[in-house]
Copies of this chain bind each other. A is one copy, B any other.
Amino acid sequence: MNRMLTPSNRERALLSSAGIFADLENAETEALRGCSTVMTCAPHEILFQEGEPGVYFYSLLEGYVRLFRLNERGQEADIRICEPRDTFAECLIEAGGTYRYGAQSMDNTVLARFHVGKVRALLAEYPRIGAAILRSLSLHLLSTIECLANDRMQTAPQRVAHYLLAHCVEEEPATASLQLPFPKNLLARKLGLAPEALSRAFSTLKSAGVTVHGRLIAISDVNALRKI
């Protein structure tokens, strides 16, 4: 059910603001954009499944996409929650063949889809595009590493505290707040927790001054939260 669109000005602007376009010159931006198509996706729609031939990589313009791996027994583990401006599956450019994880739209999403073969063909002429992809992959590797380390060292309340501290805006001295960009079950997936465990983590953090009202979260003492 993907509706293809001729990119509107707004979408062109969104695309240019994607991380993978940072530091590119005009000619490179145009070349890379020429490999792309804008498309939309309904919530819960599967973009691709693990094991399918990998022809495209994607930049997310609006909405949320989760990347996940499948078990033999059909269990799913989320690898990453993508937000607007994120690029995913770009590792196909050099580790090609098939998608190594699935991708599911978790919202009404707008995506730019890049043809891997066309982009690969640009690399010789535009080495800075290669550098941009290298940077994107490096950052993904580092964030996956951080996720793995956090999984291995942190309890559920610590993971939540870590997320809150990384995403909140500090207001008064030592107080802060934030609004979650997506529902709590997506946050739970991102942190590798069952939704119930996330809920219990929030209630544990109440004693550290965290107040939750739907997606709005207030932190009364940033320093207390850091000590969790």
A79 touches B148 (CB 8 A): yes
Q: Which stretch of A40-48, A132-140, A177-185 is in the interface?
A: A132-140
Stretch at the interface among A24-32, A90-98, A207-215: A90-98
Residues on B with C-beta less than 8 A from A77 are: 148-149, 152-153
State A142–B75 Cα separation when bound (angstroms).
19
- Nearest-neighbor residue (CB-CB) of A140 within chain B: B141
Decide yes or no whether A69 CB sits under 8 A from chain B: yes
**1/0 per position for A110-129, CB-CB distance to B under 8 A?**
00000000000001100100
Contact residues in B for A127 (Cβ distance below 8 Å) = 123-124, 127, 130
Within 8 A of B (CB), among A159-181: none
Q: Verify B137–A138 contact, CB threshold 8 A.
A: yes
Minimal beta-carbon separation of A175 from chain B (angstroms): 22
Classify chain A: how many residues form its interface, as a range. Answer: 35 or more
Q: Once the chains bind, are A79 and B130 in contact (CB under 8 Å)?
A: no
Q: Does A52 contact B (CB under 8 A)?
A: no
In whole angstroms, what is the CA distance A69 to B147 when docked?
Answer: 11
B94 touches A145 (CB 8 A): no
Q: How far is the CA of A147 from the CA of B148 in the complex (A)?
A: 8
Q: Which of A100, A127, A142, A152 has the most CB of B within 10 A?
A: A152
Q: Count chain B CB atoms within 10 A of each CB in A75, A134, A192 and give the residue with the most.
A: A134
From B100, B131, B192, A145 is in contact (CB under 8 Å) with B100
Contacts of A78 in B (CB 8 A): 152
Knowing A145-B101, A146-B69, the reply to whether A94 touches B135 (Cβ < 8 A) is: yes
Chain B residues, CB < 8 A from A69: 145-146, 149, 153
How close is A101's CB to chain B, nearest CB, in angstroms? 7
Instruction: For A146, list chain B residues within 8 Å (CB).
Output: 69, 100
The answer to whether B139 touches A141, judged by C-beta atoms less than 8 angstroms apart, is no
In the bound complex, residues from chain B placing their C-beta under 8 Å from that of A91 are: 137-138, 141-142
**Residue A8 at the chain B interface, CB threshold 8 Å:** no
